[in-house]
Amino acid sequence: MALSKKTVRDIDLSGKKVLIRCDFNVPMENGVITDDIRITSSLPTIEYCLAQGAGVILCSHLGRPKANRNMEFSLGPVAARLTELLGKDVPLIADCVGPDAEAASASLKPGDVVLLENVRFHGEEEENDAAFAGALAGLAEIYVNDAFGTSHRAHASTEGVAHYLPAVAGFLIEKEINFLGNAVENPVRPFVAILGGVKVKDKIQVIEALLPQVDQLIIGGAMAYTFYKAKGWEIGTSVLDDESLEYCRGLMKDSKITLPTDTIVAPAFAPDATPTVVSSDAIPADQMGLDIGSDTAARFREIAKNAKTVLWNGPMGVFEFDAFSNGTKEVALGLTECAGTTIVGGGDSAAAIEKFGLADQVSHVSTGGGASLEFLEGKELPGIAALLDA
């Protein structure tokens, strides 16, 4: 599915002031960015606008400051990283609206780039307040949304601004829609979807959207234990999604569903807990499942390797603990060995493939967690719906 919205290519940017909504919601520890993929993913759009002779004003949220000016959530480290990546000074403006922002906009020249401070320092951002959106829009002449990861939210900087300015998509949004859309609507077969994560209920709408399209739907991660319970098997102290048991019973009648045949269990949820491999129908009552077993991991890797389109969303186990990371790593390796189109659907699976150093060996790693899921579910994303139609 191609993006049916105008992009930065479809609008004259020369000499214009362009407000770009990016997703700079990066993980940080003690003020240091630990993963900058969301920043590097925004560079093609920023560099294109600068090359076209625009003055660029960047805005984003970071974390959840809860409408307070909490400097723990300042975009200062992002401005510093952008300065390095772009090879030009990217000053951080002290606020996203008001006198400081207006002065920065007034003095902006073609080829200049500035970053506004965290939009979520203002409660009006998440309320999609019209006056606040208008104040943001007043800084520029064109609006570009390149924040796929927040496009499922109708906030002032993602949706509200589009009502005041000519609004188009950036290259990252275009890429996300093209990859995720084509995977579901026009896949090269065999098309395999691999779903992990904690609760079945969180993935029901994705399962319903994907099941008619896929040739095989693999279920792993903590979700699998609810399926085992639905079969009447003992799952010990493993995670259980009680309210989805009936749904799982019905789903298992579909021949496309593939479940793990062995499981790695441990007596406690801890990185140093002793792992044991058991058959999935023989989980001890005092143990909890924390990963798919080695036989299942090898089988899932082979299925991914031999597919022509693979969509993966959700880890196979507690990959943050090394002793329980093998299942997730084997699936990631299967994607890297696949000669077809391989898509990692954001969130924890994106974090996992980054951890294993394999992100550059798949076709696309989505930058959106919730946005990727909602798009795959077939929902309209407000931040994209508000843009000009192609």
Tokens 């021949």 locate to: 255
Indicate which residue of 21, 38, 153, 299 is catalytic: 38
Between CA 26 and CA 146 the distance in angstroms is: 15
Is residue 319 packed enough to be buried (19+ CB in 10 Å), middle (13-18) or exposed (0-12)?
Answer: buried
Per the annotation, the verdict on 299 as an active-site residue is no
Indicate which residue of 6, 138, 199, 256 is catalytic: 199
Between CA 268 and CA 142 the distance in angstroms is: 54
Phi, psi of 289 (to 5 degrees): -75, 130
Indicate which residue of 196, 347, 368, 369 is catalytic: 347
Per the annotation, the verdict on 368 as an active-site residue is no
**Residue 46: how many other CB atoms lie within 10 Å:** 25
DSSP structure class, residue 7: B
Per the annotation, the verdict on 346 as an active-site residue is no
Q: What stretch of H or E contains 292?
A: strand 288-292
Per the annotation, the verdict on 66 as an active-site residue is no
How many separate helices (H) and strands (E) can be counted in the chain? 15, 17
DSSP 170-196: -HHHHHHHHHHHHHHHSPPSSEEEEE-
User: For residues 7 and 169, is the Cβ–Cβ distance under 8 A?
Assistant: yes
Phi, psi of 116 (to 5 degrees): -80, 150
- Evaluate the CA torsion angle 68, 73, 76, 79 in order and state its sign: negative
Which amino acid, residue 198?
A: V
| Size (the chain), residues | 390
Catalytic residues: 38, 199, 347, 370
